Amino acid sequence: MSTSKNRKIKSSQQLIELYESLDEPHQRSLSDFADFLYDRHGPAVKEILPPEDIPRPAQETVVGAIKRLKLTYHMIESMTVFSSASSLMTEHMVKGRDVNEVIDEMEKLFADAYQKMLQDSE
């Protein structure tokens, strides 16, 4: 029998799958225990790292900009900016919007999401 010391911490997705595999009384127990831990210790404070300093190349594609910005702002969940970034990419590819203008807006989009993350953590 393995001890809890030998087990790896489960990802949030693994915890969801575990929770969903339980019957209702056990789901309630797991939920109650999570509430107990939260009430006892509060939320974990995570340090928000500064963005990486990755300079914008002189010639860059929209796809390249998205890759660069994801590396620059690695702390931002992709889904936070995905919809807006996709819309901007579509405007460039389908409507022919200027590449530099689109990349400028993407940079602002990521920077704004980072600032919001900092404000929310205070």
For 4-57, write each residue's pLDDT tens digit: 566 888 888 888 899 999 999 999 999 999 888 888 887 766 788 899 999 999
Length of the chain: 122
Question: What is the C-alpha to C-alpha distance for residues 37 and 21, in angstroms, rounded to an integer?
Answer: 21
Is the overall model pTM greater than 0.75, yes or no? no
Question: What is the C-alpha to C-alpha distance for residues 122 and 10, in angstroms, rounded to an integer?
Answer: 27
What proportion of the chain, given as a percentage, has pLDDT over 70? 93
Query: pLDDT value at position 42?
Result: 73
Q: How far is CA 37 from the centre of its chain?
A: 24
Query: pLDDT value at position 2?
Result: 46
More confidently predicted of 73 and 5: 73
DSSP-H helix ranges across the chain: 12-21, 24-41, 62-72, 78-95, 99-121
